[in-house]
Homo-oligomer: A and B are copies of this chain.
Amino acid sequence: MGVIEGEKDKVLIIGATGYLGRRLVKASMDLGHPTFVLYRPEVASDAEKVQMLIGFKMQGATLLQGSLDDHNSLVTALRQVDVVVSAVAGNHLRHAVLEQLKLIEAIKEVGTIKRFLPSEFGMDVDRMEHAIPPGAYVFTDKRVIRRAIEKANIPYTYISANCCAGYFLAALAQLGHFMPPTDHALIYGDGDKKCIWVDEDDMATYAMMAVDDPRALNKTLYLRPRGNILTQMEVVHTWEKIIGKELKKTFVSQDEWLGSIDKVAPPLQIGVAHLYQIFYHGDLEFEVEGPHGVDSNDLYPNYKYVTAEEYLKRFA
């Protein structure tokens, strides 16, 4: 299969062709893990995904046909690996997260999985009980998964990855846009709430560094690249400095922002709600607490993450 067998844990990735999944596959292989990818038979009707899978294989991954709906396929796959990392769809497919309950059943049955990373990669869902709809349901679903993992005594790491750079930083948190504006930006409130902006490739690398790290066993690992804990206004100023131009700014009050939620399409409503949590309610403004929380800065202080400035410079 082209996999170099070493002492590294064997990793199974679920949701490998997705936005984060493909990065997890790459990070897993880059870190030397024998890497296995579960793919659904239905993927055969999607030429792009098939080619991505074949690309993984050509780089050394092992493809395993299976599905969360096919218990035997899961058991067969799980018997070949040590670690399971799931990146099933979160926000975009309602209740896809809950499909992982089937995976948990199979992991319990097999009994040899040394670490399970469920699909998280966002805010710390156990701190989001107060979240408003429709942004709340993904937190709710992920909490259901956490409790099921703990009840089954499955060794886990929860990756609280905070805010995907491509979705938040790339457009200075302008909803529905993914390139930085050069004229005008909406500023949420006073733009003074701290957010944590994390490059997706870094998310994947942190996650894969954690899979066999005993310090992350049964913990929530918070990805908090120290230089990337910045307010929206600090990010906007960084971009203004890069392009040598000041943006016009419209300051949006909390009431205006929450009032906009009914005026956008349902998928964007989730975005409005999540931006509210971060930029008005300040839900990323907390310090990591032990004993169940660990900070990526403490575990991997020498990891060279992509800084917000480096990321934005790519667009200039």
Contact = CB atoms under 8 A, between A and B. Distances in A.
Contacts of A57: 314
**Chain A residues touching B, range:** 20 to 34
A54 interface: yes
Contacts of A178: 44-47, 50-51
Contacts of A48: 19
A265 to B, nearest CB: 12
B314 A44 contact: no
Nearest to A167: B47
Which of A167, A171, A177, A179 has most chain B Cβ within 10 Å? A179
Contact of A166 (B19, B45, B51): B51
Given A50-B166, A166-B50, A45 B314 contact: no
A58 interface: yes
Given A19-B48, A44-B178, A45-B177, 12 more contacts: A19-B47, A44-B171, A44-B177, A45-B176, A45-B178, A46-B178, A47-B166, A47-B170, A51-B166, A54-B314, A57-B314, A58-B314
A44 B58 CA distance: 31
Contacts of A47: 19, 166-167, 170, 178
In the complex, the count of this chain's copies comes to: 2
16 contacts: A19-B47, A19-B48, A44-B171, A44-B177, A45-B176, A45-B177, A45-B178, A47-B166, A47-B167, A47-B178, A50-B170, A50-B178, A51-B166, A51-B178, A57-B314, A58-B314
Nearest to A58: B314
A184 B47 CA distance: 19
A122 to B, nearest CB: 15
Interface in A101-153: none
A208 B50 CA distance: 25
Contact of A54 (B43, B177, B315): B315
A interface, over-half SS: helix
A67 B245 CA distance: 25
A299 to B, nearest CB: 27
Contacts of A179: 43-44, 50
A54 B169 CA distance: 14
A197 to B, nearest CB: 14
A179 B57 CA distance: 14
9 shortest interchain CB distances as A-B pairs? A44-B179, A47-B178, A50-B178, A54-B314, A44-B177, A47-B166, A50-B179, A51-B166, A45-B176
A31 B174 CA distance: 38
